[in-house]
């Protein structure tokens, strides 16, 4: 790909796009073309139940002429290495166009195809690919226009508060509460009440009122029904606002993610719950979806539950999932989930 051309792509689950609000937008990673930075914005549930796709110029510039090529392709392969274009549009646009230096060129840095494809057309597409299609966009800069002079400013480094607080957790400096998790013989895990209370309403309630005396440094808080590794991973999130490095990158770590999602529900950490849900969904398969669905149902994660039901109901998956031991056990314990799946499949 030449320097004048750039591209981005991402998958779209068309079985659930009608659940998003009209202003919900997916952004691609920022990419370069013609010496400028660009990104794609996709509105999956735009006005009128359309999917809309736009190209955004991220740099300040004038009169940048570019060819914007947008396509939706099926994930089912017609031939080795080839995917078919289901919908495709191409147009030329001048980004950052201005008739005079006084005009606000930023009004014209966001342009593309509203009403690119209607949701019903996506639903009528028999994908054989778990309800997913790929949005592919490319940009060819024809005339690089005029780059606006950059204002000299002060470089500000990215925030490192997560690193600083993570270091505070690791050092155990100035801690004022400790936890014994699982086994009574386990080494106490030390933390800071103010940090925990600021991040979790459950911890805030624990460290105030009648429970205050029971949480002194000399009297560790006992945490049952959880292993130390899960509790420490939760603390790591509380201090850094992120999952521990490497957690969830391997499908074999699903059990750890399910345990961490349960901990997030227990301590009212909704962002942590959704981070775990996203990793679990990334790894979901015919063999694991029952366990993930059970976790989502048990620990009140409707977003993950909906995606799991969509996965089970996708073309060809239900018959395979229904034969797994995990699914049979789940249906025995939670017949209401089977009813939801049947409803999703349109069966009585």
56-89 pLDDT tens trace: 998 887 788 899 999 988 766 443 444 567 889 9
Residue 297 to residue 282: CA distance in whole angstroms: 18
Of 101-105, 152-156, 226-230, 324-328, the least confident? 101-105
Model confidence over 289-313: pLDDT tens digits? Answer: 999 999 999 999 999 999 999 999 9
186 in the same domain as 139:
no
- Domain final residue, candidates 80, 110, 145: 145
- Could you tell me the pLDDT band of residue 213, with boundaries at 50, 70 and 90? low
Lowest pLDDT segment from 158-162, 190-194, 250-254, 256-260: 250-254
- Short-list 289, 10, 30, CA closest to 139: 30
With b for 16 or more beta-carbon neighbours within 10 A and e for fewer, the 134-150 pattern comes to bbbbbbbbeebbeeeee
User: Quick one: three-class SS letters along 236-282?
Assistant: HHHHHCCCCCCCCCCHHHHHHHHHHHHHHHHCCCHHHHHHHHHHHHH
Cα separation, 141 vs 127, in Å, equals 33
Do 255 and 304 fall into the same domain? yes
103-128 tens-digit pLDDT: 443 456 888 998 899 888 887 775 55
Q: How confident is the model at residue 228 (pLDDT cuts 50, 70, 90)?
A: very high
Domain assignment of residue 150, yes or no:
no
Domain identity same for 265 and 296: yes
Whether the per-residue pLDDT at 94 is higher than 90: the answer is: no
> Looking at the structure, do residues 167 and 122 belong to the same domain, yes or no?
no
Q: What is the CATH number of the domain that holds 79?
A: 2.60.210.10
275-291 average pLDDT score: 93
What pTM was estimated for this model as a whole?
0.58
Domain that holds residue 307: 161-345
Q: Is the residue at 154 inside a domain?
A: no
Residue 151 lies in a domain: no
How confident is the model at residue 101, as a pLDDT?
Answer: 45
Arithmetic mean of pLDDT, 159-169: 93
Q: What number of residues does the chain have?
A: 348
Pairing of strands 110-118, 132-143: unpaired
Question: If you ran DSSP here, which 8-state letter would residue 35 be given?
Answer: T
Can you give the pLDDT at residue 110? 87
Residue 152 inside a domain? The answer is: no
Supply the pLDDT for residue 81.
Answer: 47
Residues 60 and 86 in one domain: yes
- Identify the domain boundary among 92, 118, 145: 145
4 vs 250, residue with greater confidence? 4
Crossing angle (nearest 10°) for helices 228-240 and 254-266: 70
> Based on the domain organization, do 130 and 166 belong to the same domain?
no
CB atoms within 10 A of CB 289: 24
The domain tally of the chain equals: 2
Residues 289 and 250 both lie in one domain: yes
Q: Mean of the per-residue pLDDT values for the chain?
A: 85
Task: Kindly state whether residue 131 falls inside one of the protein's structural domains.
Answer: yes
CATH of the domain at 188: 3.30.710.10
Distance of alpha carbon 281 from its chain centroid, rounded? Answer: 9
Q: Output the pLDDT for position 61.
A: 79
Q: Maximum distance among all alpha carbons in the chain?
A: 75
Domain final residue pick, 79, 112, 145: 145
Whether the per-residue pLDDT at 194 is higher than 50: the answer is yes
pLDDT of the residue at 199: 97
Q: Kindly state whether residues 112 and 230 are assigned to the same domain.
A: no
Q: Are 234 and 113 contained in the same domain? A: no
More confident residue, 127 or 325: 325
153 in any annotated domain: no
How high is the pLDDT of residue 14?
Answer: 79
226 in the same domain as 118: no
Contact between 218 and 224 under an 8 Å Cβ cutoff? The reply is no
- pLDDT for residue 34: 87
Q: Are 175 and 291 in the same domain? A: yes
Q: Are residues 328 and 203 in the same domain?
A: yes
In a domain, 75, yes or no: yes
CA distance 267 to 195: 14
């Amino acid at each position: 790909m030449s320097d004048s051309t750039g591209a981005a792509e991402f998958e779209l689950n068309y079985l659930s796009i009608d659940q998003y609000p009209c202003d919900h937008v997916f952004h691609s990673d920022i990419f370069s073309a013609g010496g400028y930075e660009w990104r794609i914005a996709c509105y999956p549930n735009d006005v009128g139940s359309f999917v809309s796709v736009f190209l955004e110029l991220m740099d300040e510039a004038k009169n940048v002429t570019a060819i914007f090529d947008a396509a939706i392709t099926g994930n089912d392969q017609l031939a080795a290495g080839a995917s078919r274009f289901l919908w495709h549009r191409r147009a030329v646009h001048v980004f950052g166009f201005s008739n005079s230096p006084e005009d606000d060129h930023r009004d014209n840095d966001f342009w593309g195809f509203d009403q690119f494809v209607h949701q019903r057309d996506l639903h009528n597409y028999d994908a054989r690919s778990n309800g997913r299609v790929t949005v592919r966009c490319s940009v060819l800069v024809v005339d690089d226009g005029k780059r606006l002079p950059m204002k000299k400013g002060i470089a500000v480094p990215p925030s490192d508060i997560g690193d600083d607080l993570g270091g505070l957790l690791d050092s155990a400096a100035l801690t004022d509460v400790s936890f014994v998790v699982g086994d009574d013989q386990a080494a106490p895990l030390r933390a800071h009440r103010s940090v925990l209370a600021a991040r979790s309403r459950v911890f805030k309630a624990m460290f105030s009122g009648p429970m205050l005396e029971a949480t002194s440094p000399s009297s560790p808080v006992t945490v049952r029904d959880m292993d130390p590794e899960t509790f420490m991973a939760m603390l790591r999130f509380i201090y850094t606002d992120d999952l521990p490095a490497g957690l969830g990158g391997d499908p074999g770590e699903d059990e750890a993610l399910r345990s961490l999602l349960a901990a997030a529900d227990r301590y009212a950490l909704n962002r942590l719950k959704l981070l775990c849900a996203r990793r679990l969904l990334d790894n979901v398969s015919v063999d694991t979806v029952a366990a993930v669905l059970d976790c989502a149902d048990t620990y009140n994660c409707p977003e993950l539950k909906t995606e799991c039901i969509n996965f089970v109901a996708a073309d060809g998956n239900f018959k395979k999932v229904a034969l797994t031991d995990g699914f049979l056990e789940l249906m025995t314990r939670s017949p209401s989930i089977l009813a939801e799946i049947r409803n999703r499949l349109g069966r009585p």
